[in-house]
Amino acid sequence: MEGKLRVLIVNGSPKGEYSLTLQHSLYMLGQEPAVEWAVLQAGEALSPIDYDEAWLAEAIDEIERADAIVWSTPVYTMLVPWQLIRLFRLVEEAGRSDAFRGKYATSMMTCFHYYDHLAEAWLRATCEDLGMAYMEGRTADNMDMLRKDHRASMRFFMREFIEACRNRAPLERKYAPLSGRPSPRFEPVAAGADAGANAGRAAPAVPAAAPGAAPRTVLLTDEYRKDGNLSRMIDAFVGAYPYPVEVVDINDFPYEAGCHGCLRCELVGECDRKDGFQEFYLNLVNTCDALVFGMNLEGRYLRPVWKLFLDRTFSNGHRTSMMGKHTAYLVAGPLRSLPNVRQFLEGKDNVGRENCMAIIGDEYDDSALLGRLLREGAGRLARAVGARYQKSVNFLGWGGIKIFRDLIYGMRGVVRDDHRFYKTHGLYDFPQKDIPKQLFNVAMGVAFALKPVRLQAFERMPPLYIQLHKRIVDSGKP
């Protein structure tokens, strides 16, 4: 390659020049004298709903002129910010997606490592779909760059990237292309008309929720009463659900702009945007008992309006407002080819200790079967609400819960509302605060210094390990 390599840093952070991530990208490229670089402030420019179209046209030209792209972005709500998704979408709508083709790309992200892997996976897959050669990026938390050893690795990383661009080194394609095949059309049939496994079987009883009142169930959707599978799935689900359902089309909310990461919500408890979203969302989650989501997939994620919506829910800080409640997801599109979207939904619910009772996709040739799945899902959701059933939490949840616990505790002087919430809900479950366990470990630490004790423990371990549980089983009591 002749002359200087032209690298475009596309800054996805809505904080613009105040982006922490940007400092990382500037540092790395500042160490590369043979590179010409420029910054595209995409996150900032695309925050308002009414963005500047002249900016977009110029931005696409800049992308086209660049030899390589560094996506410099924070992680927002387990992905990149809505603004960056919007950039890809607007370039596509302008018919200019070819501007990306053949270019090398990598990413620099800062975050608290909460689902940052999903953010990079989405970015990489999206780049690969656009014909870009993507090299694995870096993620850092807010203190990493202050360390000398970390900076040495950052320089190594950027050097490798620049060399890969210059030599047009082959890079592995990690994600298979999507087929682009639409899901079969869902043609609902009336309940009972489908001679499936449940036909003729009595529907399981729905236990009463709170005495007197039906549980408040809200369905949030990006498509309602249109000619799409999602609309028909919603009708089938709502028709089978034994309680009233309020349907809210999230496209109808008058969003002023995307979240711009100002943290006013964390510091003074109010969202900086004045469109009423914070009140709308808090009122919704505080008063509903069950939340159903109707979601269309688009590209490798949900329709972008979901990201706009979800990023704005950050105004509630890290307070898991749906804790203990119940959810279900109806998803139209290639969900089976997008396991990361499923992981996002499951992870979000697991961390929030919401109880996801169903994730139902639409990739069924057999409409009768999908109809039965929807009816069964509706029944299961209603029964779980009534029984106040609590699901178990897996790695997706526990991993996130521990990250948040440490984050909030470490920042407790600043994020005071979050800290109060964590304290009152007993979420500070640090092992060092478990006094009986501490005493046990002190005693064991002394005894286990002796090999005969360890040998004896080894021999007695199997029955001892299950002793308390076995007692419950043997008692036969509930």
Ligand X SMILES: Cc1cc2nc3c(=O)[nH]c(=O)nc-3n(C[C@H](O)[C@H](O)[C@H](O)COP(=O)(O)O)c2cc1C
> For the range 187-190, what are the long-range contacts, defined as Cβ-Cβ under 8 Å and sequence gap of 24 or more?
187/232, 187/367, 188/232, 188/235, 188/236, 188/367, 188/371, 189/367, 189/368, 189/371
Residue (371 or 397) nearer to ligand X, CB: 397
Residue 350 in contact with ligand X, rule: CB under 6 A: no
Residue (318 or 375) nearer to ligand X, CB: 318
Which part of the chain contacts ligand X (CB under 6 A), choosing from 75-83, 169-177, 301-309, 462-470?
75-83
Q: Which residue has the tokens 């609400």?
A: 385
Task: Classify strands 301-302 and 290-298 as parallel, antiparallel or unpaired.
Answer: antiparallel
How far apart are CB 312 and ligand X at their closest, in Å? Answer: 8
Rounded distance between C-alpha atoms, residue 271 and residue 314, angstroms: 9
Binding mask 89-128 for ligand X (x = CB under 6 A): ---------------------xxxxxxx------------
Of 77, 327, 350, 355, the one binding ligand X by CB under 6 A = 77
Q: Which residue has the tokens 């001679």?
A: 195
Applying the rule CB under 6 A, the residues between 135 and 174 that interact with ligand X are 142
Residue 217 in contact with ligand X, rule: CB under 6 A: no
Residue (71 or 186) nearer to ligand X, CB: 71
Of 63, 75, 80, 91, the one binding ligand X by CB under 6 A = 75
Rounded distance between C-alpha atoms, residue 38 and residue 65, angstroms: 11
Applying the rule CB under 6 A, the residues between 244 and 263 that interact with ligand X are 259, 261
Largest CA distance in the chain: 80
Q: Which residue has the tokens 């991993």?
A: 399
Take residue 213 and report the two structure tokens written for it: 């009142």
Residue 419 in contact with ligand X, rule: CB under 6 A: no
Q: Which residues of 390-421 are buried (b: 16+ CB within 10 A; e: fewer)?
A: eeebeebbebbbeebbebbbeeeeebebbbeb
Residue 310 in contact with ligand X, rule: CB under 6 A: no
Residue 78 in contact with ligand X, rule: CB under 6 A: yes
Take residue 223 and report the two structure tokens written for it: 């498509």
- Give the binding-site size for ligand X (rule: CB under 6 A): 23
Residue (76 or 329) nearer to ligand X, CB: 76
Cβ-contact 305, 334 below 8 angstroms = no
Rounded distance between C-alpha atoms, residue 198 and residue 83, angstroms: 45
Q: Which residue has the tokens 């475009």?
A: 8
How far apart are CB 125 and ligand X at their closest, in Å? Answer: 18
∠ at Cα 404 (275, 119), nearest 5°? 70
Residue (64 or 266) nearer to ligand X, CB: 266
All residues at 6 or more sequence positions from 160 whose CB lies less than 8 Å from its CB, including other chains: 135
Residue 45 in contact with ligand X, rule: CB under 6 A: no
How far apart are CB 73 and ligand X at their closest, in Å? Answer: 7
Residue 375 in contact with ligand X, rule: CB under 6 A: no
Rounded distance between C-alpha atoms, residue 102 and residue 98, angstroms: 9
Residue 44 in contact with ligand X, rule: CB under 6 A: no
Of 5, 8, 21, 121, the one binding ligand X by CB under 6 A = 21
How far apart are CB 47 and ligand X at their closest, in Å? Answer: 12
Residue 15 in contact with ligand X, rule: CB under 6 A: yes
Residues that bind ligand X in the complex, under the rule CB under 6 A: 13, 15, 19-22, 74-78, 110-116, 142, 259, 261, 311, 314
